[in-house]
């Protein structure tokens, strides 16, 4: 299938495999690897349903993960961007390091 026929945005979350010896076109979720048959009779319904329940859909980029430090350990976690918290941290950084603004 050419990229012109893949108009739905859900295709950006899936990878299409080349047709193998079994002559079956398949695709897989880029996040978790779950594979599906890519047949026109299924449409994009399978993909849409999968995106709703995919356990890894929120970890699209390491840049979206935050480092958290507990007493004796550090870990990565998925967080939500909070513009107010960011502004507060930015102001604190500017003041703490006596940076020009």
Residue 48 lies in a domain: yes
Using alpha carbons, list the distances in angstroms from residue 43 to 34, 46, 59: 17, 7, 25
- For the whole prediction, is pTM greater than 0.75? no
In this prediction, residue 94 carries a pLDDT of 92
In this prediction, residue 54 carries a pLDDT of 83
Alpha helix locations (H) across 1-101? 45-53, 83-96
Q: Residue 65 forms beta bridges with which residues?
A: 78
> Is-contact 39 45, C-beta < 8 A?
no
CA torsion through residues 17, 21, 22, 24, sign: positive
Pair (43, 67) in one structural domain: no
Name the residue range of residue 46's domain. 9-53
Per the structure, the count of domains in the chain is 2
In this prediction, residue 98 carries a pLDDT of 92
**What does residue 81 show for φ and ψ, rounded to 5 degrees?**
-75, 125
In this prediction, residue 95 carries a pLDDT of 92
Residue 1 lies in a domain: no
Rounded average pLDDT per 10-residue block, the chain, 101 residues: 61 84 85 81 79 71 60 65 84 91 70
> Is-contact 67 75, C-beta < 8 A?
yes
């Amino acid at each position: 299938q050419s990229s012109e026929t893949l108009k739905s945005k859900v295709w950006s979350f899936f990878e299409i495999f080349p047709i193998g010896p079994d002559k079956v076109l398949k695709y897989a979720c880029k996040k978790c690897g779950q594979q599906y048959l890519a047949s026109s009779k299924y449409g994009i319904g399978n993909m849409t349903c999968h995106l709703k329940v995919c356990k890894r859909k929120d970890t699209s980029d390491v840049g979206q993960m935050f480092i958290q430090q507990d007493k004796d350990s550090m870990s990565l976690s998925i967080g939500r961007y909070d513009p107010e918290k960011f502004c507060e941290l930015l102001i604190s950084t500017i003041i703490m390091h006596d940076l020009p603004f």
